[in-house]
Amino acid sequence: MNVVDVIAAKRDGKELSELEIRQLVLNYDAGRVPDYQMAAFLMAAYLQGLSLGETIALTRAMVDSGTTLDLSKIAGIKVDKHSSGGVGDKTTLVLVPMLAACGLKVPKMSGRGLGFTGGTLDKLESIPGFTTALNADRFIQQVQHIGAAIAGQTDDLVPADKKIYALRDVTATVDSIPLIAASIMSKKIACSSDIILIDVKVGSGAFMKDLDQARNLSRMLLAVGQSFNRQIVVVITDMNQPLGRAVGNSLEVVEAIDTLKGCGPSDLRELCVQLCGFVLNLVEYSRSDEECAARASAVLDSGDALEVFREIIVAQGGNSRVIEDTSLLPLAQIKEEVASLESGFVEAINCAAIGKASAVLGAGRERKEDRIDPAVGVVVRKKLGDPVERGEVLAEIHANDGERASAARKLIADAYCLGPQQRPGPSLIYEVIR
């Protein structure tokens, strides 16, 4: 294969063969294709797009660049879940125990936060003692015994995606639908579950800013997943405001625990119930969405999902007393309020700016190697459609550094847009594609 010819073909809008894509990816992963050629290819793919066939070939090549998880020792139906990334999205912390409490097996590999979006591993690691570094044997044994495990992805899984993603990050080629679809699906396919739930976030705090983009990505994800014979459901959900109220690692764990206890924010509970229901519907076709959602609600109301969460914490070395006493989680020293300078109704929230405020406080990273502060973050008190009086609190800042708190304050104040009329808040779920 001549790499320059492949780049030129893509630059000119031609369709590449499966072999061309495979060789490019595997040679890049092996260090035989340099970064500058892969960067040129990525930009050509970004500008010209990739067909479904090319996207499937890219996904397959990335999967084959590493090993895949062998889940054959786990009896039962294995379910995986992925979110395209959002602000205050602690769904995994609630949904994984719910799915396991419904009798499904959930071997969940998660990532860390980058930029304004949070990551499940960082959230869980705010629980004292909790480890997300499980080797494959321990991971599989835990799923066999308690139904679920949440761990970091091992280095030998889709190494080509890691290298390509890092290159996309610095070459302005992240927000390409086929590149995102191949990146997400390669990780999900390598994790070998039977059922894959993908939550595609859309709105001011998501990669996908509008519904058309989100639909295109969703259809691509579905088609790629089906080409690997997986059962897949893609749900397009709102990210025009933080999910729940808490943004920041230990703050989000508290909110997830509250939700598992039945006293969390209603949007988080509702989303988890619906998502769990959609998965159950794939398993038990004869049941309606309503029946499946009722079953999902029941594992929250009975406390069964909370018990699975406790078992996960214990199995992964964490202090499960945080469930009864959330003050055992890291707490920030400074708590400040951001008050509104005007009265009205919340018309818009720049959700990415809230995520950035949390990152500025230390809850997120700009670079992969940055350390995070588990205690800090933002709690939004006013959400879309809420009435606000001048002087009322829009959001709380949890900080460990006064200067960072001031920077976050400005971001939060600017993120809120008030108007004279009350408009209904956005739908939680826009579409279900299955």
Q: State the nearest-atom distance from the C-beta of 176 to ligand URA, in Å.
A: 8
Which residue carries 């869980």 as its tokens? Answer: 124
Q: State the nearest-atom distance from the C-beta of 315 to ligand URA, in Å.
A: 26
- Return the number of the residue (91 or 183) whose C-beta is nearest ligand URA: 183
Catalytic annotation on 327? no
CA distances from 398 to 64, 131, 132, 261, 380 (A): 44, 24, 25, 23, 11
Told to check if 65 binds ligand URA by CB under 6 A, we report no
Catalytic annotation on 145? no
Site for ligand URA in 239-278 (CB under 6 A): none
**Catalytic pick from 10, 22, 81, 82?**
82
Among 66, 85, 264, 277, contact with ligand URA (rule: CB under 6 A)? 85
Read off the tokens for 263. Answer: 């006293």
Q: State the nearest-atom distance from the C-beta of 164 to ligand URA, in Å.
A: 9
Catalytic annotation on 194? no
- Return the number of the residue (85 or 97) whose C-beta is nearest ligand URA: 85
d(CA 310, CA 304): 10
Distance of CA 236 to the CA centre of its chain: 13
Instruction: State the residue number with the nearest CB to ligand URA.
Output: 183
Among 65, 84, 240, 250, contact with ligand URA (rule: CB under 6 A)? 84
Catalytic annotation on 161? yes
Q: State the nearest-atom distance from the C-beta of 150 to ligand URA, in Å.
A: 16
d(CA 186, CA 392): 46
Told to check if 173 binds ligand URA by CB under 6 A, we report no
Catalytic annotation on 183? yes
**Catalytic pick from 168, 230, 269, 398?**
168
- Return the number of the residue (179 or 214) whose C-beta is nearest ligand URA: 179
Told to check if 180 binds ligand URA by CB under 6 A, we report yes
- Return the number of the residue (126 or 183) whose C-beta is nearest ligand URA: 183
- Return the number of the residue (94 or 184) whose C-beta is nearest ligand URA: 184
Which of the ranges 127-135, 176-184, 215-223, 376-384 carries the binding residues for ligand URA, by CB under 6 A? Answer: 176-184
- Return the number of the residue (63 or 379) whose C-beta is nearest ligand URA: 63
Interface mask (CB under 6 A) for ligand URA, residues 32-51, using x and -? --------------------
Site for ligand URA in 147-166 (CB under 6 A): 165
Q: Known catalytic residues?
A: 82, 161, 168, 183, 187
Q: Using CB under 6 A, list all residues that contact ligand URA.
A: 84-85, 165, 179-180, 183-184
